[in-house]
Chains A and B, each alone.
Chain A
Amino acid sequence: MKTRPFATALGFIAIALILSSAAVSQDGSQDTQPAKVVVSPEKLEIKVGESAQLTAKVLDKNGNELQTPVTFFSLSRRQLTVTREGQVTATRPGEFSVLVMPASAGGRRSARGTGTGRGNSNPLRVTIPVKVAFPPVTEVSLTTNTAKLYAGLSTPMQLSVKDEMENDRNDVNVSYESSAPDVAEMDPFGNLVAHKPGRFTITATAENVTGTFSGEVVALPIKSFKLEVSETTARTGDVLNLKAIVTDADGNEVPDLPITYAFTQDRQGQYTSYGGAGQIENSGRFVAEVPGAYTLIAQCGPFGAKADVEITPRNVQRRLEVVGRGAVTDTHTSDLWVWEGVDGRDYAVTGTWGANGDAHFFDVTDPENIRRVSTVTVDARTVNDVKVSEDGRICIISREGASNRRNGIVIYDVSDPTQPELLSEFNDNLTGGVHNLFISNNHVYAINNGTSYDIINIDDPRNPRRVAEYELETPRHAVHDVWVVDGLAYSSNWANGLHVVDVGNGIKGGSPANPELVYSYIPPNVAHHAAFPYTSSQTGKKYVICGDERFPFGLSTENSPTIAGGYLHFVDVTDPENCREVARYEVPEAGSHNYWVEGDILYAAMYNAGVRVVDISGDLMGDLGRQGREIAQFKSFDHEGYIANAPMVWGPQPYKGNIFFSDWNTGLWCVRLSEGRR
């Protein structure tokens, strides 16, 4: 067999070239390139306030040390300070990491570099775990708010454990010991159980640090125990007030006893599996959700009393009938506003969502014959909100998704709604989009990029000017809506809840240019979306309804219905220093959006559950829907809707005896409560 030298040589050249190419291209580096970073120590354990030094060396793939500098980073900057040279200082306890990166020259060059692909997918880096121990416990204390400890009763105790850095420590084991267990001792739930009269000391121990509570148990001074109830008959949803009258041997009332209230109900079999038939508070307030005979109970230790009441159905149900429509089925519809025009006729304006930037104006003077009289188009994808000034002359349109990304608001003269006249645009620093707005007293309150609400003076609507902005300070704050009544601005701030701000009411000396916080409240659910204040005409109590907006199954913008979530929270703000959530209105498998109160009636847009009319007269407590307070409901089905047969009611507005509402999929509707029962 003969060989061919030329071919052989060429073959070797080819192989050499291949190998050479592979050697370079596989890792893009020479032997002297960094291949490994060795950090010492491999892990750290330090205490808060202590520092430690990390050192690192860089090795090539043969294990030779290179003179390559290394850079250190903290992956938890707020807890662990790390200099670029590797000095680690702990500021908070916990488990953290330090990133170590060689600062090698060169690096891998790829043919990419275009943002469209990737070259080296595994840069040389090391992370070092750092464990920072909690500082030692230094203080244990045990207290109670109860003035007297009575034999036979349990009292909740407040335990506080703090460490050297004043951290509250809930992670340490605490043991209790009583000096007189037959007098008093702690139960596993943190309550002090008083057995009999006598003195005692409880010692709480955590990490060998102790705290003590000394007290005296006295005998229950009860001679007489009676129960008074405000009414013996009531309707579902009516709140009854219970009061235990406790007197001692001298006939004096004993005021500070812990009273437990409870109830039983004879359901006579018709409410099997219903769950709770009512609700009762330790303050003595009781409300029934279903009709029937109830036994109300008050109890204190071995003493007790009971009273019977009869609850009847509320019977408020009526029917809603359609009066007229201003159908919009080619796009989603957003908010609405209905007003009496300067010409004495009645008009409505609606926005559009995820569309072309349209706002539609309707003549609704004859609600049985609603006519669209004009449409304005602004540079936006969503006109989420539309509002008209008190005098009916100025309409403000919000913009999101503008093609030029300037967004902001657009101001129209709607003295003649058939021919709205563009007066001005205002987008200075409102480029992030305005989702909601309100007009009050020649000022526009515009939600700015979900960050703040900006207050814009429109004394001269052709030359609007910003006079103030109101922004929370809490981390990750975001604001969704603002509503202004009587000089108070009610803003809805998702997880940060409700802020009520004086913008001219005077209670805090505020003005539009000088907004001052009056009070705040955070409902549960971290989904606070809109607020509406009202005062009960019967009780004089002041409430703010705080609504959720949630889409637990997502929002379907095309083709299929959406199932929303969330409900309305009724917050008693009569005492602004002690705001208290007392009731809710919830529709199962539906969610709340906008709402309006007129008289003692709530008009609520409940998205896929349609528009709901709810009796909110009298004192409020518990689940209003389950109490039979719902007067009427209407679901805006339309097989020609933008999404067919998918009611999605956005916002209602009662107006001159009718109820106007906008529906996301079908546009403007007008309905009316009929006299007939549902």
Chain B
Amino acid sequence: MNRLFTNSGRGLTALTVAFGLLVAVAFCAPAQASEMPVVCNSATTSYYAYIACESEDEVALVRLIAPENGAPKLEVVERIRVGIYDLEIEGPHGLGISLDGEHWFVSIAHGRPFGLLYKYSTSTNELVGELELGMFPASMQVSEKTGLMHIVNFNLHGGHEPSTVSIVEPDAMVELERITTGIMPHGSRFSPGGAKHYSLSMMTDELFEIDAVKLAITRTLNVHSGEGVMRMMKGSHGQGGHGSHDKGHGSGHQTGHKADAGTMHDKHGSTGHGDHKKDQQMGGQHKSGQHQTGQHGDAKHAAQHGGQHSSGQHGGDAQHGAHHHAIAKPTWVQLHPTKPLAYVANNGAAEVVEINLDEWKITRRFSTGKGPYNVEVTPDGTKFVVTYKSDAATGIWDIESGKELARVENSRKVPHGIAITPDSRFAIVSVEGIGGEPGGVDAIDLTTLKRVDVVNIGKQAGGIVFWKMEEE
């Protein structure tokens, strides 16, 4: 018989052990659900994150070492040069991690003419895969439900025209689909479990919800006004219906230049069509190779483009052809780990808005510092952390009370991305810096609400992704 239940005269011990187990269950269950290790009285915990240095063409692997007793310390484990053209700034921007943690991904903004997605091994930090995407691919995440990566094609270098979310199969590094959303899509985060994807249209103030399995837009919400739109998913359709993608992408896209009909919009998936601003400026003198293409840069074309591109699935996108006047200029969305809530950084409005996903409406507004850029919610669901890009500070907010607990000064100007450790203990913040100064990584203790260490990395430190936590 198990000693736990057979102790002569030691019932209290059994009770204590049982209670202890209950406590253990209570404390460990959330972490087990995330399949991440839990800190249980370990001496030292190390947290690893990758950070992209956009003007250095590097990705830095940084470790935050947190001893049980002693000051946390950041160190640069490795600096990995990325890109093809050694002397050009190619702009690594977004970072992602595979579900099994064995690979990391970085998006490259530089044109060839499109941006690229690179895949690296986390064990060697060596390049193992490459995929061409749209213009300026940026933020990304892999769905726990489908295993597919959703990565927004920010198209900062193009005109104000609707861009896309690329759906990528990250094992084979194959692009399965592009879904047209809004102008300058930014942020790419899944709901817990990975069933729904959320991204923002920075220049139309819209939040887009995509069904991760059906790969269709289900809802949009204006994150400034709070007006929402339910989308009718027209069911599945064949990939053959997306022939225009292929024309514009890879070996087939040479066909996409001469004709200006809407179906030929996808010269390169995003750049070759409807560059209204440029075309208007050039008075129709837009040249592409030997071909005159200026005639297609009008609003009509853009509307045609949006409608045809969606192939029925992304209905209603034609409205983006007419330029919206963005007020909120949202840059990031993050989901609450346990509640149907999303938090959106309205960069242009100096606020974070809370969105109730069940009701699809804005429920709270949090007035923040200037230029809120990235927002992350702690895994325990109690706080969110926001970088104030224009204030050189990072805000830490209590979700329940809606109060800003602290505004932590960053080590230099232009804080960018945030990675929160799985134990909700630290926020690791990338800070771009200005001009020739190095980029930085700030570690903020979310308990003491203090910056506890800083380490220098390459210039314009931006995209960040948490990799792993280790106990020693």
Q: Are B246 and A77 in contact (CB under 8 A)?
A: yes
Q: Are A28 and B147 in contact (CB under 8 A)?
A: no
B176, CB-defined interface residue at 8 Å = yes
Q: Are B290 and A113 in contact (CB under 8 A)?
A: no
Which of B59-67, B70-78, B154-162, B322-330 contacts its partner?
Answer: B154-162
The digit string for B76-95, where 1 denotes a CB below 8 A from any CB of A, is: 00000100011111010000
A339, CB-defined interface residue at 8 Å = no
A616, CB-defined interface residue at 8 Å = no
Complex Cα gap A81–B237 (Å): 11
Q: Are B192 and A110 in contact (CB under 8 A)?
A: yes
Q: Are B286 and A7 in contact (CB under 8 A)?
A: no
The digit string for A461-480, where 1 denotes a CB below 8 A from any CB of B, is: 00001111111111111101
Complex Cα gap A634–B93 (Å): 40
Complex Cα gap A469–B89 (Å): 21
B-chain residues with CB within 8 Å of residue A466 when the two chains form the complex: 278, 281-282
Complex Cα gap A432–B54 (Å): 12
Q: Are A115 and B465 in contact (CB under 8 A)?
A: yes
Q: Are B435 and A403 in contact (CB under 8 A)?
A: yes
A-chain residues with CB within 8 Å of residue B5 when the two chains form the complex: 3-4, 7-8, 11
Q: Are B291 and A123 in contact (CB under 8 A)?
A: no
In the complex, how many angstroms separate the beta carbon of B88 from the nearest chain A beta carbon? 5
Q: Are B251 and A475 in contact (CB under 8 A)?
A: yes
B288, CB-defined interface residue at 8 Å = yes
User: Which among A122, A384, A429 has the greatest number of chain B C-beta atoms within 10 A?
Assistant: A429
Q: Are B174 and A76 in contact (CB under 8 A)?
A: yes
B261, CB-defined interface residue at 8 Å = no
Which of B32-40, B199-207, B403-411, B446-454 contacts its partner?
Answer: B32-40
B-chain residues with CB within 8 Å of residue A515 when the two chains form the complex: 287
Nearest A residue to B172, CB-CB: A75
> Quick one: which of A97, A104, A477 contacts B113, CB cutoff 8 A?
A477
A-chain residues with CB within 8 Å of residue B420 when the two chains form the complex: 114, 116
A-chain residues with CB within 8 Å of residue B15 when the two chains form the complex: 6-7, 10
Complex Cα gap A435–B57 (Å): 15
A87, CB-defined interface residue at 8 Å = yes
A254, CB-defined interface residue at 8 Å = no
Which of B96-104, B221-229, B300-308, B361-369 contacts its partner?
Answer: B96-104
With known contacts A119-B144, A401-B55, A111–B337 Cβ distance under 8 A: yes
B-chain residues with CB within 8 Å of residue A432 when the two chains form the complex: 91, 109-111, 136, 156-157
Q: Are B141 and A7 in contact (CB under 8 A)?
A: no
B-chain residues with CB within 8 Å of residue A81 when the two chains form the complex: 238-240
Q: Are B287 and A71 in contact (CB under 8 A)?
A: no
Q: Are A356 and B435 in contact (CB under 8 A)?
A: yes
In the complex, how many angstroms separate the beta carbon of A30 from the nearest chain B beta carbon? 14
A651, CB-defined interface residue at 8 Å = no
In the complex, how many angstroms separate the beta carbon of B417 from the nearest chain A beta carbon? 9
Complex Cα gap A5–B138 (Å): 61
Which of A137-145, A239-247, A317-325, A549-557 contacts its partner?
Answer: A549-557
Q: Are B99 and A428 in contact (CB under 8 A)?
A: no
In the complex, how many angstroms separate the beta carbon of A69 from the nearest chain B beta carbon? 8
A-chain residues with CB within 8 Å of residue B158 when the two chains form the complex: 429
Hey, which bits of chain B sit against chain A, CB under 8 A?
4-8, 11, 14-15, 18-19, 21-22, 25, 29-36, 54-56, 81, 85-89, 91, 97-101, 109-113, 132, 136, 141-147, 156-159, 169, 172, 174-177, 189-195, 213-215, 235-240, 242, 245-246, 250-254, 257, 271, 275, 277-278, 281-282, 285-291, 334-338, 376-380, 414, 419-422, 432, 434-436, 459-460, 465-466
A-B contact pairs, 27 of them (CB 8 A): A4-B7, A71-B215, A71-B236, A83-B237, A84-B236, A109-B193, A114-B337, A116-B421, A117-B379, A118-B36, A123-B147, A401-B55, A428-B281, A429-B275, A429-B277, A431-B156, A432-B91, A433-B88, A449-B157, A450-B111, A451-B112, A466-B278, A466-B281, A469-B288, A471-B113, A475-B250, A475-B251
Question: What 7 pairs between A and B have smallest CB-CB spacing?
Answer: A84-B236, A83-B238, A356-B436, A401-B55, A113-B192, A116-B466, A432-B157
